[in-house]
Amino acid sequence: MSEYRKAFVDFFTSLKLTVVLLALSIVLVFWATIAQVKLGVWGVQEQFFQTFFVLQKIPGTEIPVPVFPGGYFIGGLLLINLIATHIHHFKFTWGKSGIQLTHLGLIILLLGELFTGLWQEDYSLRLDEGQTKNYSESFRDQELAIIDTTSPDYDDVVVIPDNVLAKRGEVQHPALPFRVVIREFFPNATPQTRGQAPNDVIPPVTMGFGKDFTVVPLPLTYRQDQANLSAAVVELIGPQGSLGTWLLSAHPFVRPQSFEYDGRTFALSLRHTRNYKPFSLTLLELRHDVYPGTEIPKNFSSRVRLTTPDGHEDREVLIYMNNPLRYAGLTFYQYQMDSANGYSVLQVVRNPSWLLPYISCVLMMLGLSIQFGISLFRFIAKRRAAA
């Protein structure tokens, strides 16, 4: 083994590295806990844990610089450190089987956290009483939907996600008879009457809602009780030239904006990213029970009908606290409710790796029991021998 390779292996299999990483992770968790006051859960996850580095802007500029290793960096190195040590030193003995099982549990726990970060989908499904929906909506991600509404039976939809809108530039899609040029994009902005805005930063808009309204860009919010509502200015350009420029906003009061082109009817809508399902849910009844004589909530529940187009499923389900609906790999939890306005919000979660933390805990528990058991039996045997 060459000197370099030895140094490399020594580094990744070193116990010192483990201790340093654990110390760094303590600092990271402490810092993130303090930062959560301002940033909220989403912000902290994004800026501290689901990132390789914690970035901070140089004061007075917009230039971000890494100031501390992030969750992916520390967790990734810990994982490599753990696996590398096992590969390098692994030698199965019964005496160490407990420790090895515990470490396997730890590896699975770290992998589970990584897979959850990468694969978990978390959406919301808001239903008014009597309403049927076959899609859920992202809590944070937004998209520009260009909907061909010409057919009386169906809508053809082209969606451009907000990460593409943020790059501005052009989008050309075979299903569209025009190019979409993104002139401006604001990740958080609020609509305002045109002419009343203190500093109107929006390029001229020729069509729809933007003729009378503009938007005021706002700083991104990470608070859980606030939403970032994006806005964009897009120009559509066909073979004969520009069709016009539209201002779009994801604010709930801004509805899809329709226009005609080439004998077809289209609608433009900036909305929370939709995730369509092969089944529908209808909200039949919502209940908000309180303890008698008080305003203290006792129960929130939504009675929904689950149906599939092929008629295989048609059943009623009662969703309430700790009793979610599990269907098609998704879990529907009771999330929010407004009985006065007659709507209920379900949280829709898909987490393919949800079992891993349980498997990991069982393995670690088994490993520790075996290890303590072995030590205990050795100790008893020694005492017997001494006696």
Partner 1 sequence: MRLIRASSIALGSVLLLASCREAKVESYRVPKEAIPPSPLDLASGMSGSDMASTPVPTASGAGLTWTAPSNWAAQPGTPMRKAGYKIAAANGTAELTVTAFPGDVGGDLANVNRWRNQLQLPPLSAGELPASIQTVATGAMEFKLTEINGGAQSTLSAWVMHDGSSWFFKLTGDTSVVAAEKPAFLAFLQTIKAE
Give the per-residue contact string, 76-95, with partner 1 (x = CB under 8 A; - = no).
Answer: x--xx--xx--xx-------
Residue 163 touching partner 1 (CB under 8 A) = yes
Counting Cβ atoms within 10 Å, is residue 351 exposed (0-12), middle (13-18) or buried (19+)? Answer: middle
Rg (CA), the chain: 28
- Give the contact letters, 209-228, x = binds to partner 1 (CB under 8 A), - = no: x--xx--x-xx-x-x-xx--
Alpha carbon of 41 to those of 35, 37, 121, 143, 236: distances in Å? Answer: 9, 9, 16, 23, 38
Write the DSSP assignment of 43-71 as a string of letters. Answer: HHIIIIISSSEEEEEPTTS--EEEEEE-H
Residue 10 binds partner 1, judged by CB under 8 A: no
From the list 186, 166, 194, the residue with the least C-alpha distance to 231 is 186
Report, in Å, the least distance between residue 190 CB and partner 1: 5
From the list 197, 345, 368, 374, which residue makes contact with partner 1 (rule: CB under 8 A)?
A: 197
Q: How far is the CB of 157 from partner 1 (least distance, A)?
A: 6
> Per the structure block, which two tokens stand in for 263?
């004998």
Q: How far is the CB of 308 from partner 1 (least distance, A)?
A: 13
Q: How far apart are CA 36 and CA 52, in angstroms?
A: 18
Regarding 192 and contact with partner 1 (CB under 8 A), the answer is yes
- For partner 1, the binding residue among 267, 284, 318, 366 (CB under 8 A) is 267
Give me the helix-helix angle, 97-119 and 71-89, nearest 10°: 150
Judged by CB under 8 A, the chain residues 112 through 141 that form the site for partner 1 are: 114-115, 118-119, 134-135, 141
For residue 205, state whether it binds partner 1 (rule: CB under 8 A).
no
Structure token pair of residue 298: 């006792």
Which of 25, 45, 190, 307 touches partner 1 (CB under 8 A)? 190
User: How many whole angstroms separate alpha carbon 63 and alpha carbon 280?
Assistant: 46
Q: How far apart are the first and last CA of the chain?
A: 50
What backbone torsions phi and psi does residue 345 show, to the nearest 5 degrees? -115, 125
185: contact with partner 1 by CB under 8 A: no
Binding to partner 1 in span 47-76, by CB under 8 A: 72, 76
**CB closer to partner 1 out of 77 and 319:** 77
Kindly tell me which residue out of 18, 36, 124, 257 binds partner 1, with binding defined by CB under 8 A.
Answer: 257
Work out whether 295 is an interface residue with partner 1 (CB under 8 A). no
**Other beta carbons within 10 Å of 105:** 21
Nearest CB to partner 1, comparing residues 221 and 351 = 221
Q: Does 173 bind partner 1 (CB under 8 A)?
A: yes
**Joined tokens for residue 178:** 């025009």
**Which amino acid, one-letter code, is at 340?**
A
Tokens found for residue 235? 């120009």
Sign of CA pseudo-dihedral 230, 235, 239, 243: positive
String of b and e for 128-145 (b: at least 16 CB within 10 Å)? eeeeebeebbbeeebbbb
Q: Considering the complex, what minimum distance in angstroms separates the CB of residue 243 from partner 1?
A: 18
CB of 212 or CB of 285, closer to partner 1: 212
Relative to beta strand 53-57, strand 64-69 is antiparallel
The binder of partner 1 chosen from 126, 179, 251, 303 (CB under 8 A) = 251
Which of 78, 254, 325, 348 binds partner 1 (CB under 8 A)? It is 254
95 vs 130, beta carbon nearer partner 1: 130
Nearer to partner 1, 144 or 364 (CB): 144
Residues 129 and 146: beta-carbon distance below 8 Å: no
Interface with partner 1 (CB under 8 A), residue from 20, 35, 55, 164:
164
Interacting residues with partner 1 between 313 and 372 (CB under 8 A): none
- Interface positions with partner 1 (CB under 8 A): 5, 8-9, 12-13, 72, 76, 79-80, 83-84, 87-88, 114-115, 118-119, 134-135, 141, 143, 149, 151-164, 171, 173, 175, 190-193, 196-199, 208-209, 212-213, 216, 218-219, 221, 223, 225-226, 251-258, 267, 273, 276
